[in-house]
A and B are shown apart, each in its own frame.
Chain A
Amino acid sequence: MDETKRRPRIDWIHTALVQGEAVRAYTKWDYQPTVIDGVPESFARA
Chain B
Amino acid sequence: MRTRRCGRRTRWCSRCGLEDIFLSESRPEGDNVWQGRVDRRCSSASRGLAGGDRRAAAAVARASLAAHARRRADLRAHRSGEMRGAQAMKRWASDVIVDLLHAYQLPYAALNPGASYRGLHDSIVNYGGNRPVMMLCQHEETRSADRPRLRQGERPSRWSRSCTTSSASCTPTWRSTTPTPTERPVFIIGATGADGRDQAPAAHRLDPHGAGAG
Residue ranges of A at the interface with B (Cβ–Cβ < 8 Å) = 1-2, 5-7, 10-11, 14-16, 19-23, 26-40, 42-44, 46
Task: List 14 A-B residue pairs with CB atoms under 8 Å apart, sorted by A's residue number.
Answer: A6-B196, A7-B194, A7-B196, A16-B165, A26-B178, A30-B212, A33-B213, A34-B206, A36-B206, A39-B210, A39-B211, A40-B61, A40-B100, A43-B100
**Contact of A19 with B212 in the complex, beta carbons under 8 Å:** yes
Contacting A15 at CB < 8 Å: which of B173, B177, B192, B207? B192
**Contact of B212 with A39 in the complex, beta carbons under 8 Å:** no
**Which B residues lie within 8 Å of A10 (CB)?**
193-194
**Which A residues lie within 8 Å of B93 (CB)?**
36, 39
Minimum CB–CB distance for B175 against chain A, Å: 9
**Contact of B188 with A23 in the complex, beta carbons under 8 Å:** yes
**Contact of B165 with A26 in the complex, beta carbons under 8 Å:** no
